Amino acid sequence: MKNENPFNKKISKIINIILISLSAAIAAVLTAGTIYALTRPVNAEPVITLGREQAVQPQIISQTDDIRVFSGLGRLRIPLSNSTTLILSITFPYLANDITFSEELAAKVGSLKTIASDYFSALPEAELIQIDEDAAKQEILRRFNNSLRLGRISFLYFGDMLVID
């Protein structure tokens, strides 16, 4: 017959308690993190940054650089109040040799369109009639740059800007 040592039983019980407690703690941390992530605003700053954060500077474009114009947003048709529509084209220059920034722009076309649409559709009708184009450009530029991580836009140009009833 096998002789069981009570000391071994005690150690195995302690190990089981430790493992169950550790599993419960991990589950609690994951649940709390998920709830926190779901309640944060969409455009909130990162909570933790690993490594050195490199500040992304606006592109300084000189005459010798290969400059392209990003027109990937196309002509936006933004529904406004009172069944009016704003037609707007937004373009901006970028360096052709900045491949990572070019790829980020291509990947974020949808979110950039949404940013512009949200801005203009939230404006009161009285402000749309006599819109300050420079202030609108600066605000859209700020919002675009907040959503971009691999580069910055220096200038924005509005092509078509028509309000149609």
Is the pTM higher than 0.85? The answer reads no
CA distance 11 to 28: 26
- Residue 59: DSSP 8-state: P
pLDDT in tens, 30-73: 999 889 888 888 777 777 776 655 555 555 555 567 788 888 88
Note every long-range contact of 35-39, with CB atoms under 8 Å and residues 24 or more positions apart, other chains counting.
none
Give the residue extent of every domain in the chain: 1-40, 67-164
What's the chain's length in residues?
165
Q: Which residues pair with 163 in a beta bridge?
A: 86
| pLDDT tens digits, 69-112 | 888 889 999 888 777 888 889 999 988 888 899 899 999 999 99
Pick the CATH number of 67-164 from 3.40.50.1820, 3.30.479.30, 3.40.718.10, 3.40.50.300: 3.30.479.30
pLDDT of amino acid 58: 54
